Amino acid sequence: MKRDILTPTPTPRVVLVRFLGFLQRLAGHRETSVEIQTETTVLDLLNTLTKRYGEDFSSALFRAPGEVQTYLSIFLDDEEVSVSEPISTDQSTTRKVELLILPIFEGGSQ
C-alpha cells in the first residue's frame, strides 16, 4: 500500500500596509492589515487594496492596469520594491512584513 506524505498547508501571512499623504485620506485610515498567501506579489496586494478601497483609491495608485503612478514609491520592509516583487511568506521568522505606499513629489527651491 502506498502511503501519502502530507505536506503542510502554507499559513497565510499578515502584511501591515501603511498609507501616507492623500492615500491615507482615500483609505480612511493610516494603516490596515492584509492576509496574503504564498507567491503573492506587491502588485497582487495593491490590487487587493483597490478592491477594498474603491475606484478613487485605484486611480490614485494606478495610471493603467498594473502600472503604478510615477509619483508613488513602494517600500517593503524598508526597501524600495517593484510591483513584481514577491512578498515573503516565510513563517520561520517572526519579523513583521510591512508595506509602505509613499507619494513622492518633487519641488521646492533650487
Contacts of 39 (CB under 8 A, 6+ apart): 86, 89
Q: What is the pTM of this model?
A: 0.80
Share of the chain above pLDDT 90, in %: 55
Strands 79-80, 13-19: pairing is unpaired
Strands 72-76, 79-80: pairing is antiparallel
pLDDT digits (tens, 9 = 90+) for 75-104: 998 889 999 999 876 665 555 688 888 888
Q: Which domains does the chain have, with CATH numbers?
A: 13-103 (3.10.20.30)
Cα Rg of the chain, angstroms: 17
Averaged confidence pLDDT in the chain? 84
Indicate the pLDDT class of residue 44, thresholds 50, 70 and 90. very high
